[in-house]
Amino acid sequence: MPDGANAILVRRRRREEAAGPRAGIAGRGSRPLAVLAAVFTLAQLVLVRPVLGLGWDEIVYVSQVTSHHPAAFFSAPRSRGVSLLAAPVASWSSSVPLLRVYLALLSGLALYLALRSWRGLFPTRVLVVGGALFASLWLTLFYGPQAMPNYWVAIGALISVGCFLRARAERSARAVLWGIAAGAALMAWMRPTDAVYVAVPLLVLALVRRHWRILLVLAAGLAAGAVPWVIEAYAGHGGLGERLAEASRIQGGLGWQIAVDDQLRSLGGRALCRPCTGPMPHPLVTLWWFALPALAGLGLVVATRAGRLGRTLVPLACAATAALPYLFMIGYAAPRFLQPAYALLAIPVADALWHLVRRPGGAWRPMAATLVALCLAGHLAAQLAVLHGAVSRNTESRRDWGRTADALHRLGVRPPCLLTGHEAIPIGYYTGCSSGATSGNNENITVAGILRTADRLPVAHLAPAGAIPPRYARSWPVHRISDLDVRVAPGS
């Protein structure tokens, strides 16, 4: 028995000695990713600032889980994932700075885990640069601490694609299978339709190569994330087909519509470009967008020569399918729509950049390295300038909503109350009122319902100054608040 015990100890010691160097290397490889994630988190808190008020879409998501404000109308395209993500803070606190800090910390941790899922597929230096390219985009910094879905679809895409590639090489690794399922579920939890577009190349490849276990895990992850959305479709929208049709209608009707120029215009810091008119941003702001496909193509050439075509081609294919609907199927744009594509492109692009600055033997190319460094510095400066403008504009617009809410309180419109008309959802949230619309994408009440509510609660209608109000509000006393005509129901 002593001999048996000694043998067990000897074998264990040998395993530890063999694993020790690898564990040390793994630990050192993870540190740069952790540092990048920490810098990303700090940059959000410093550059975007936790005092930024909630935006329109955030209000819709957060109001579903908070007890401090009435829930805003939840339209067909939306999914409950963001609401549940915000719930650990929003369900008990109305503090926006606290929610911002929580989301910034969570987004930094998520970036670390997403990049870590790619370890072994690319050198750590490539993952760090790829992560930095994605994290330094103004839209990534801007939306990281916000209660919005697109960043989280991007994180889910990175995790599911990275783990998918690793699962093909590490057939017996259960952890990567769980990663595939978790990434797919996260995407579908946030935006089910986006998750399908991202996953199409993975599903096709798994089917063609007969990777049945991977195919099953991926499909199970997508289904698990989409279940709440599907259940809600049958419970409140008349079925899945009806919800998809309604979502398409709200988005202007999905079909062949070229939105490439709209996406370019939105790169100047516009949160939503609908309708997308006006001049293009300065070329320095959009130059990186044109460089992306060229660098992605170079990354593909590099991968082919290095004998690792698959691990570059798969994320490029997923990026293409993720971008497809937002470039060619809707008639408007928002820069955040393409976040999953940017995240997936970042790693092959980083691989191409390293190829440009270093020779195959590892020696630096001084001229190329200097040029690439200058281009990246200029790119970062442009992104920070756009971010500063976006933060300033959004901070001021959200303060306007707060000032309008204060003026409504002085007019006697206090909770519980109801607002209708122009920007009723965001101003209603800041006022503490419910919001109602008798038509449009957020239709949730009838004229009779508004009049019944006015008999017992304060009700006000908002309209741009000089606009003709609806018939039910024309006789109500009108007050001017900033650039709004506010009509308050008699007795309110």
Tell me the per-residue pLDDT of 79-114, one tens digit each, with 9 for 90 and over.
999 999 999 999 999 999 999 999 999 999 999 999
Strand segments, DSSP code E, in 378-449 are 418-421, 434-436
Q: How much is the pLDDT for 27?
A: 56
pLDDT of residue 3: 46
Mean pLDDT check: name the lowest of 172-181, 320-329, 410-419, 431-440. 172-181
Q: pLDDT tens for residues 379-392? A: 999 999 999 999 99
Q: Which 3 state secondary structure label does DSSP give 464?
A: strand
pTM of the model: 0.93
Stretch 401-413: mean pLDDT: 97
Greater pLDDT, 5 or 292: 292
Question: Quick one: which of 23, 34, 18, 19 has its CA closest to 124?
Answer: 34
Q: In this model, does residue 23 exceed pLDDT 70?
A: no
- pLDDT confidence of 454, banded at 50, 70, 90? very high
First-to-last alpha carbon distance for the chain, in angstroms, is 88
pLDDT greater than 70 at residue 1: no
- Does position 279 have pLDDT exceeding 90, yes or no? no
Query: Does the pLDDT of residue 117 top 70, yes or no?
Result: yes
How much is the mean pLDDT over the chain?
92
> How many C-beta neighbours within 10 Å does residue 113 have?
17
- Measured between alpha carbons, how far is 420 from 434 in angstroms, rounded to an integer? 9
Does the pLDDT value for residue 315 go beyond 80?
yes
Lowest mean pLDDT among 74-88, 143-157, 190-204, 265-279: 265-279
What is the reported pLDDT for 20?
Answer: 39
- Residue in 342, 336, 260, 352 with CA at minimum distance from that of residue 299: 352
pLDDT of residue 492: 62
Is the pLDDT higher at 2 or at 305? 305
What is the average pLDDT across 333-347?
97
**If pLDDT is split at 50, 70 and 90, which confidence band does 330 have?**
very high
